[in-house]
Amino acid sequence: MSSIRIFKTFLAVVKHGTFAAAGKDIGLTAAAVGLQIRCLEEDLNQVLFDRGARAVVLNTTGRRIAAQVADLVMRYEALAALDDNNELSGTVVMGALVSALMGAFADALWSIKQAHPRLDVKLLAGLSSDFAIKVEQGELDAAVVAQSPHPLPSSLLWTPLYTEPMVLIVPRQPHFDLARNSLEILRSSPFLRFDRQTWTGHLVKDALRQCGVAVREEMELNSVEAIVEIVRQGFGISIVPRLANVQWVRDQGLRIISLTGIDVQRHVGLIERTHHVRQRFTGEIKRYFQTSFRKSVRRWRKTAL
């Protein structure tokens, strides 16, 4: 009977595509990986991979069982997370936008870790669209992403956490002539565009369409952080989400300009499978933001009185 260890080896081969790369990831030789895969195939009486000279590829049978094996491994690992004191423990693998880690989500994660010190969270930074695929395939337990411009598969659940308005950022000391109003700035200044193929890139396109302005595109990047730094150094302008909890108002290199009449916002949320074994953890994340929202509403009401 195959063990959890062999199932983990199988998933490593699925992920990396070769016995050598899988072995490097899990600390085994390529020969040991190959032996474990043969044992699994013998136990199941099925061939799971098409073997080539340089790579192994899941065949139809392998693809059919891969999700079930991943679910089995996750359920086994979830046993370590059970705690009589209702404390979260064990390992959770999450994806997160780098911009989310710069702001509100970092605060949430710190708070949860403080309350549950036995919890181990492994974070991967990247793009929303990539994370959605990895969550669906079980490589990630969940991810903090921008809202998708397209409908998500029924197997995925997206929960909004917070909202960031799209704003115009300009340098305080530009290396070019900077116009006085926002529309003229957009028309005449070198524009740094967020990758138009990404989910946040779609929002930039919507904002520019609402402005009705043709921009002078200078560069296209897939990192808000890189764009902000280039603007800060005076080489261009951009439209980006105003990151939650990042104090750009105090930034000596940037000016933030609200786009009057533009209602485009980036909605940041949690993406997870509709059924998975880390729902207690993702529930803590959602509760944190629900509590933070209620506190902010109370502060606003006190200020308004």
Question: Can you give the C-alpha Rg of the chain in angstroms?
Answer: 23
Cα distance between the two ends of the chain: 68
List phi, psi (to 5°) of 303.
Answer: -65, -35
Number of domains in the chain: 3
CATH code of the domain covering residue 276: 3.40.190.10
Per-residue pLDDT, 86? 63
Measured distance CA(30)–CA(211) in Å, rounded: 57
H or E element, residue 189: none
Measured distance CA(23)–CA(97) in Å, rounded: 29
Answer yes or no: do 33 and 109 share one domain: no
Task: Give the range of the structural domain holding residue 19, as residue numbers without chain letter.
Answer: 4-79
Answer yes or no: do 111 and 244 share one domain: no
Measured distance CA(36)–CA(28) in Å, rounded: 10
Per-residue pLDDT, 264? 92
DSSP annotation of 152? P
Helices 19-26 + 4-16 axis angle, to 10:
120
Last residue of a domain, one of 79, 98, 124: 79
Answer yes or no: do 51 and 18 share one domain: yes
Answer yes or no: do 171 and 255 share one domain: yes
CA angle at residue 269 from 106 to 108, to 5 degrees? 25
CA 116 to chain centre: 22
Nearest Cα residue to 54 out of 15, 6, 27, 20 = 20
- Using a cut of 0.95, tell me whether the model's pTM lies above it: no
**Per-position pLDDT tens, the chain of length 305:** 568 888 889 988 988 888 999 888 888 888 989 999 999 999 989 999 988 877 888 899 888 888 888 878 877 766 655 555 567 777 888 999 888 887 778 888 889 989 888 888 888 888 888 898 888 877 888 999 999 988 988 889 999 999 999 999 999 999 999 998 999 999 999 999 999 989 999 999 999 999 999 999 999 998 888 999 999 999 999 999 998 777 777 888 999 998 888 889 999 999 998 888 788 899 999 999 988 765 554 554 454 44
Per-residue pLDDT, 279? 86
List phi, psi (to 5°) of 53.
Answer: -65, -35
Per-residue pLDDT, 293? 61
Answer yes or no: do 208 and 244 share one domain: yes
Answer yes or no: do 33 and 16 share one domain: yes
CA angle at residue 135 from 131 to 138, to 5 degrees? 140
Structure tokens that stand for 230 in this block: 């280039």
Whether residue 88 contacts residue 280, with contact meaning beta carbons closer than 8 Å, is answered with yes
Nearest Cα residue to 204 out of 220, 190, 226 = 220
Answer yes or no: do 108 and 242 share one domain: no
- The CA–CA distances, whole Å, from 239 to 41, 129, 147, 259, 267 equal 53, 20, 17, 9, 15
Answer yes or no: do 42 and 57 share one domain: yes
